[in-house]
Every structure is written in C-alpha cells, then in structure tokens.
Amino acid sequence: MLPVSRQSPAIAAAVREIQLRVAPGRARLLPEPSSEISAWCYNGTAPGPEIRVRQGDRLRVEVENGLAEETTVHWHGVRVPHTMDGVPHLTQKPIGAGERFVYEFDAVDAGTFWYHPHQRSFEQAGRGLYGPLIIEEREPVRVDRDVTW
C-alpha cells in the first residue's frame, strides 16, 4: 500500500491561481488628506491583496520579485508542504531579484491566516509586505458581512 499525502491534489476541488508581484510602491495608510508613503507592495498595495479560497481548493501563487533583494512568502499558520513554507535557506532558496517562484498547496484548514516574507522579515514586513489569506469553510455559515480589518 502506498502512503497517502495530506496534501494530495486528488482532494482539491478547484485550482485558484494568483499572481503576486513584490515591488516598491506607494501606499496610503490613513484616509485622505493623509499622503501616500513609500512602501514595499504586493500587486501595488500595502497590505497586499486579500486572497480568498474555499477549503479543499488548491492554491497556486506565482510570485515575481521586483525588489532589489531576495524575498520569500510564508503562509502563516497554514499547513503546507515543507517546500512551500517560504523559510529561506531551510525550505526554499530565496526568490532572487527579478526571479519568480510558484507556491502550490491545498487549502486544508478553514480560517483567517496571513502571508508575509521570512527573508529579512523585520524589514520586508515592516515596509508593507503582508496580506490576508482567508480559507472559507466548504459550506460557509451565513453572515451579514465579512470584513478583514
């Protein structure tokens, strides 16, 4: 009998493909008339865009590094294969300047999580590189609204 992986693609209901470009940009952290500040962004925003998938779906995220230094993406609190965990020099080679990397894993557990770099995270997250990852239940409960703060 062959061992069965918890991350088996056979259990995935759908594949959700996301593209994240990591690059310097400008962000407004407070409402107008406050001005924009220099930040490091995912897809031009800080925090990065909300990624929302259904439990059991497969998530495929292509990350393009537009920074002048290496980066990674760590999926905080999410059960992922070791090679997809985003820990530089331990689970993956960092994504070099101008390079791309594809993270791919099944959304096993429902919940509210976040993504951020583990490469120089004290600076990279501090400059704006973080974003919400929402994994909805297979059969979500009815709510009036769902807001990420």
CATH of the domain at 69: 2.60.40.420
59 within a domain of the structure (yes/no): yes
| pLDDT interval class at 148 (50, 70, 90) | confident
44 within a domain of the structure (yes/no): no
60 within a domain of the structure (yes/no): yes
122 within a domain of the structure (yes/no): yes
- What is the rounded distance in angstroms from the CA atom of residue 122 to the CA atom of residue 5? 33
Cβ partners under 8 Å of residue 78, min gap 6? 105, 107, 108, 109, 113, 133, 135
Type of residue at 140:
P
Most confident of 5-9, 18-22, 135-139: 18-22
pLDDT digits (tens, 9 = 90+) for 11-54: 546 999 999 999 999 998 888 998 999 999 999 999 999 999 99
The confidence score (pLDDT) of residue 20 equals 98
Burial class (CB in 10 A: 0-12, 13-18, 19+), 86: buried
* Predicted TM-score of the model (pTM): 0.86
142 within a domain of the structure (yes/no): no
75 within a domain of the structure (yes/no): yes
Q: Radius of gyration (Cα) for the chain, nearest Å?
A: 16
**What is the tally of structural domains in the chain?**
1
35 within a domain of the structure (yes/no): no
Give the helix/strand (H/E) hosting 101.
strand 100-106
